[in-house]
Amino acid sequence: MNNQQFPFRFGKVSFLFDKKSFYIISLLTVLAIVTMVISLGIGQLFISPVDVIRAILGQGTDMQNLVVNSFRMPRILLSMLAGAALAMSGAILQGLIRNPLASPDIIGITGGAALTTVMFLAIYTDRSNTLTLSIHWMPLASFVGAVSIGFLVYFLARKNGRITPFRLVLIGVGIAAAADALTSLLMILGPIHSASKATIWLTGSVNGTNWNEVITLAPWVFGITFILFIYTRRLNMQELGEDLAKNAGQLVQRDRFTLLLLSTSLAGGAVAFAGGIGFVGLMAPHIARKIIGSAFGALIPVSALVGGMIVVIADILARMLFMPLEVPVGVFTSIIGAPYFIYLLFKSRK
Amino acid sequence: MKAIQTEQLSLGYKDELIIEELDLTIPKGEITVFIGSNGCGKSTLLKSLARLLKPKDGSVELDGKDIDKTSTKDIARQLAIMPQSPTAPEGLTVLQLVKQGRYPYQSWYRQWSEKDEEAVQYALEVTGIKEFEDRTVDSLSGGQRQRAWIAMTLAQDTDIILLDEPTTFLDLTHQIDILDLLSDLNEQEGRTIVMVLHDLNLACRYADHIVAIEGKSVFEQGDPDEIITPQLIHSVFGLQCQVTCDPICGAPMCIPYSKQRQMKGANRYATQQVQAN
């Protein structure tokens, strides 16, 4: 090998690391931490980065400790986790479908979560506009929606026991449209209160996140990420196309199912807690590919870091621009994401 | 010696049969080339030999064992196929691509053994693309890119290599280049090579064994010197031609008739021939 890669071998365990990827991932990790520290200081009470670090270590004033550790930290960690999860979900789909325009929004996963969330709000709101079931069950409803739509799309896209990327996208777009229509219908027919709550959820918001939500989502995201690392080489092979994957001895259909399950679970977890934050699953892996290339061993962590940072930055804007009013974070990811999507479409047309 | 054998093999998509009840033997250690008109099923047949397509009926045997009953990973260590015009994802480097050839030998924790490294190095060197290993596949020229795919196939380290039109979209220089490379691999390392080629004359030049496919089955097969005749070309391709001798290799060479352009400039070449003599 030349000096760009270095092998690691220990007994039967062996990996090849790429120096450039290593540096880039380290750099992005530092950047992500800096972004989070800055974000922790921003709000109605401005706190300097140095004071933020002091507060994290529990050495700030009581007020600073409270604001940083109890109010802002959970929402920022959740933004990071949700962004990373959506980005990895998109990276998997883009590899699986072999198309840079694939993302959890487009194949209906987010739409499915929206539908069940609105159903939850409509069903459990009584006449006096109060929820009859604790709001803490809402993430479960979202998750169930994301995963069931993911599988509905998967099974409808199957033909003769196999699934082709093209059918997956077509069926996904169709199901997403149907889910959107039902969601709108429920919002119009449902109680006013739940409709406004649903609108915030649909756009994606991390406002009022508490530590419990972070503690629920974190192991989920980290667990799936670990399984994903075991699957990176399969994903690399999938991206060369079905014929070559089969040639290499891969059980293509079985691996597609597993990878779709991982992607859906990641997106489902993210939307369950942060709502339908749009376009991160599309943008982040795409930017990551520009930075690091197509090998998934590096693409997955870079996508995750980029995705997390996009949501954290969008959340800073969401809190700052119209202070004291707070806008859902998804508004900003969509404001950047939608033109990006059009740019991608435009570029791929040429 | 046989490398691959089919027994009563029928192939097709949906209700349409493309190959019917075919018994075919691919000789070991030789270059076999499938020829036939467009849509005759030569690519389909090649795919089925590599288990990329499930037979409608009958079986394909590798080393005397039914490939349908052999573990797909085991097959991947004996046989590699390079599909027609494969595409690499944007931004993938040559090294990353060639590494993928080692897939059948790896697992999630064993991704770069010394053996993997040797095989990849060998593949990069023998195909002459070592210097491009850090470049992305999409930045290479057509000929270099094709070499990168062949390198990936070689890294798989199999005795049998199948290639579906490895020379399409290449100019003549690079076609010869690729075929010389495959011919070397066959001669020096005894690898069995099976490929689909469009160019009849190159097929005749490089093949030890030609399989002409027509009418859902093998029309004729054997040494090109023996089987390539104007009658065969007419039956398989529906083309009128003369068969002469390739002045460089002595292999049969087909020269097709055209409707309008006959004998134009014949005198000029005749004179040149005389002068050369």
Which tens digit of pLDDT belongs to each residue from B20-38?
Answer: 999 999 999 999 999 999 9
Q: Which residue do the tokens 């990973």 mark?
A: B73
SS3 sequence, A140-178?
HHHHHHHHHHHHHHHHHHEECCEECHHHHHHHHHHHHHH
Q: How confident is the model at residue A1 (pLDDT cuts 50, 70, 90)?
A: very low
Amino acid at B146: Q
Percent of chain A scoring above 70 in pLDDT: 97
CA distance B27 to B186: 12
Tell me the nearest-neighbour CA distance from A118 into chain B, angstroms.
38
Task: Answer yes or no: is pLDDT of A349 > 80.
Answer: no
DSSP B124-157: HHHTT-GGGTTSBGGGS-HHHHHHHHHHHHHHT-
- Cα distances from B199 to residues A286, B11, B111, in angstroms, run 40, 25, 39
Q: Which residues of B touch A243 (CB under 8 A)?
A: 47, 52, 81, 83, 86
Model pLDDT for residues B30-67, shown as the tens digit of each residue: 999 999 999 899 999 999 999 999 999 999 999 889 99
Peptide bond preceding B230 in cis form (omega within 30 of 0): no
Given this model, what pLDDT does residue A117 score?
85
When the pLDDT of each residue in chain A is averaged and rounded to a whole number, the result is 88
Model pLDDT for residues A41-82, shown as the tens digit of each residue: 998 889 999 999 999 998 989 999 999 999 999 999 999 999
CA distance A270 to A247: 35
Instruction: Report residue B11: phi and psi, to 5°.
Output: -125, 155
Task: Answer yes or no: is pLDDT of A130 > 90.
Answer: no
Q: What is the mean pLDDT of residues B172-177?
A: 93
**Of residues A211 and A161, which shows the higher confidence score?**
A211
Task: Answer yes or no: is pLDDT of B277 > 60.
Answer: no
Q: What is the mean pLDDT of residues B101-126?
A: 94
Q: Which residues lie below 8 Å from residue A35, measured CB to CB, with a gap of 6+?
A: A309, A312, A313
Among A21, A235, A247, the strongest candidate for a mutation testing the B interface, having the largest count of B CBs within 10 A, is: A247
Q: How confident is the model at residue B163 (pLDDT cuts 50, 70, 90)?
A: very high
Q: What is the mean pLDDT of residues B234-250?
A: 93
Q: Which residues lie below 8 Å from residue A185, measured CB to CB, with a gap of 6+?
A: none
Q: Which residues of A touch B91 (CB under 8 A)?
A: 289-290, 292-294
Tell me the nearest-neighbour CA distance from B154 into chain A, angstroms.
12
Model pLDDT for residues B193-213, shown as the tens digit of each residue: 999 999 999 999 999 999 999
Nearest CB to A293; choose among B77, B93, B113 = B93
**Of residues B217 and B277, which shows the higher confidence score?**
B217
CA distance A145 to A265: 11
Q: What is the token pair recorded at B5?
A: 């054998």
Nearest CB to A294; choose among B92, B112, B133 = B92
Q: Are B198 and B231 in contact (CB under 8 A)?
A: no
Q: Which residues of A touch B111 (CB under 8 A)?
A: 14-16, 233
Pairs across A and B, CB distance < 8 A = 105
CA distance A103 to A110: 10
pTM of this structure: 0.90
Task: Answer yes or no: is pLDDT of A2 > 60.
Answer: no
**Of residues B169 and A300, which shows the higher confidence score?**
A300
Q: Residue A193 is inside which H or E element, if any?
A: helix A192-203
B146: left (phi over 0), alpha (psi -120 to 50) or beta: alpha
Given this model, what pLDDT does residue A48 score?
93
Q: What is the mean pLDDT of residues A328-339?
A: 88
Q: Which residue do the tokens 């690399």 mark?
A: A236
When the pLDDT of each residue in chain B is averaged and rounded to a whole number, the result is 91
Predicted ipTM of the assembly = 0.91
Model pLDDT for residues A136-171, shown as the tens digit of each residue: 787 888 889 988 998 898 888 888 767 777 788 888
Residue of A nearest to B135 (CA): A293
